[in-house]
């Protein structure tokens, strides 16, 4: 039997300071990113993007190691936890680290959908490469804000069994739909949020450098960069409806959900610039993402119950990693056929 099931390792009342320090760290890194390393608008090269991807992934893994070391020490000295019959602080610390890593991998995998959207939005609005980083910076900043809200709501709602079941069924439905629905071209002009935006802010048809707003004819106008930012922000909110419940299927600790989600999002911009030109090579990846959503959905509605409340986290990481690896290898082994013009 899993002695971890139902045990709250990081209650907010004890760890509010941790959330605060972590948030300050994230804001500091973002300020360093935009204020120092990307102060001047420029096209991000593959080499630069790869370097930043390594930085963000390394920071996530270092945090994973740090949370393991911290948990190993603190859990053993916590009277509340040690009073629980059968509680093993070493095992709890190991599971905490595995849950963070699994959540990090899941969010990184699901973020590929965001990257496809970024590419389509920038192409549709003809956003120059030099300005794309600025849009994604503010897009990620907004994503962090909305993810924090969704995770807070999820932490409350996921305490109810019927919510967990509904969320699991939703993930299964979304995964199956992703697998069977053909890809469609994005049509931002039909987006209701964009139509609402235009009712309040007139939109210029021309770019004005890296500015989101301009003063024209005595009025404040939005630029195409603002429209691209709004579309990206709304898309991330939609994706969060999948990704947040998916990580809650991995762990019921809000602190682990929050930190793994944020670390994955922080590296989203560099991942986009690294993969933007090779996305078509991973045409089978959507089936891998579909499989991951179906698996985590099954965890919520069935597998956790079968395994006394918690499906083994090591197995979860192995299954999710295998699904992702198989879809990537299959994409490279069986490249997408390119239709030749004039060939029937």
**What CA–CA distance (Å, rounded) separates 184 from 257?**
31
pTM of the model: 0.88
Please tell me the predicted confidence (pLDDT) of residue 133: 86
Residue 156 parent element (H or E): helix 129-157
Strand partners, 214: 221
pLDDT band at 3 (very low <50, low <70, confident <90, very high): very low
3-12, 22-31, 157-166, 214-223: which has the minimum mean pLDDT? 3-12
Which residue in this structure is represented by tokens 């079941």? Answer: 165
Instruction: Tell me: pLDDT of 324 over 70.
Output: yes
2-11, 21-30, 63-72: which has the minimum mean pLDDT? 2-11
Please tell me the predicted confidence (pLDDT) of residue 18: 94
**What CA–CA distance (Å, rounded) separates 116 from 57?**
20
Contact between residue 265 and residue 144 where contact means Cβ atoms under 8 Å apart:
yes
Contact between residue 256 and residue 70 where contact means Cβ atoms under 8 Å apart:
no
Whole-number percent of the chain with pLDDT over 70: 93
Backbone angles phi and psi of 216, in degrees to 5 = -140, 130
Please tell me the predicted confidence (pLDDT) of residue 93: 94
Please tell me the predicted confidence (pLDDT) of residue 295: 94
pLDDT band at 338 (very low <50, low <70, confident <90, very high): low
Mean pLDDT of the chain: 86
Q: Which long-range contacts (CB under 8 A, 24 or more apart) does 20-29 make?
A: 22/258, 22/259, 22/262, 26/144, 26/262, 26/266, 29/59, 29/266
3-state secondary structure of 4: coil
Token pair listed for 55? 């930085």
pLDDT band at 192 (very low <50, low <70, confident <90, very high): confident
Please tell me the predicted confidence (pLDDT) of residue 86: 83
Q: State pLDDT tens for residues 269-287.
A: 888 888 877 878 888 899 9
Average pLDDT over residues 318-341: 85
Please tell me the predicted confidence (pLDDT) of residue 163: 92
3-state secondary structure of 119: helix
CA triplet 43, 25, 71: central angle to 5 degrees?
125
Please tell me the predicted confidence (pLDDT) of residue 120: 84
Please tell me the predicted confidence (pLDDT) of residue 36: 67
Q: State pLDDT tens for residues 194-247.
A: 788 888 888 887 888 888 888 887 888 988 899 899 988 888 888 888 888 999
- Contacts for 63 with CB less than 8 Å, ≥ 6 apart: 100, 259, 263
Instruction: Tell me: pLDDT of 184 over 80.
Output: no
Q: State pLDDT tens for residues 111-147.
A: 888 888 888 888 888 888 888 888 888 888 888 889 8
Total Cβ atoms within 10 A of residue 154? 21
**What CA–CA distance (Å, rounded) separates 21 from 70?**
15
Average pLDDT over residues 39-58: 85
């Amino acid at each position: 039997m899993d002695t971890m099931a139902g045990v709250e390792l990081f209650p907010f009342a004890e760890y509010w300071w941790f959330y605060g320090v972590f948030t300050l760290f994230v804001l500091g890194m973002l300020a360093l990113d935009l204020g120092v390393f990307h102060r001047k608008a420029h096209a991000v090269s593959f080499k630069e993007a790869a370097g930043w991807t390594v930085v963000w992934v390394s920071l996530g893994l270092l945090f994973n190691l740090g949370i393991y070391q911290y948990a190993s020490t603190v859990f053993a000295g916590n009277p509340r936890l040690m009073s629980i019959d059968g509680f093993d602080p070493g095992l709890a610390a190991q599971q905490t680290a595995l849950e963070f890593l699994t959540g990090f991998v899941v969010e990184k995998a699901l973020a590929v959908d965001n990257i496809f959207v970024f590419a389509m939005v920038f192409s549709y609005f003809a956003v120059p490469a030099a300005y794309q980083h600025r849009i994604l910076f503010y897009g990620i900043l907004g994503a962090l804000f909305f993810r924090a809200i969704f995770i807070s709501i999820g932490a409350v709602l996921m305490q109810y069994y019927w919510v967990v079941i509904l969320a699991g069924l939703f993930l299964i439905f979304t995964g199956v739909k992703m697998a069977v629905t053909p890809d469609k071209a994005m049509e931002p002009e039909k987006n209701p949020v964009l139509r609402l935006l235009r009712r309040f802010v007139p939109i210029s048809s021309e770019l004005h450098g890296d500015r989101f707003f301009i003063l024209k004819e005595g009025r404040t106008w939005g630029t195409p960069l603002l429209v691209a930012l709004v579309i990206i922000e709304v898309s991330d909110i939609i994706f969060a409806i999948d990704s947040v419940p998916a990580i809650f299927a991995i762990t019921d600790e809000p602190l682990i959900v929050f930190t793994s989600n944020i670390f994955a999002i922080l590296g989203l911009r560099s991942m986009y610039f690294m993969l933007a030109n090779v996305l078509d090579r991973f045409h089978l990846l959507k089936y891998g993402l579909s499989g991951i959503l179906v698996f985590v959905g099954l965890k919520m509605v069935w597998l956790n119950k079968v395994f006394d409340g918690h499906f083994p986290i090591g197995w979860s990481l192995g299954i999710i990693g295998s699904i992702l690896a198989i879809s990537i290898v299959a994409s490279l082994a069986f490249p997408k056929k390119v239709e030749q013009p004039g060939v029937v």
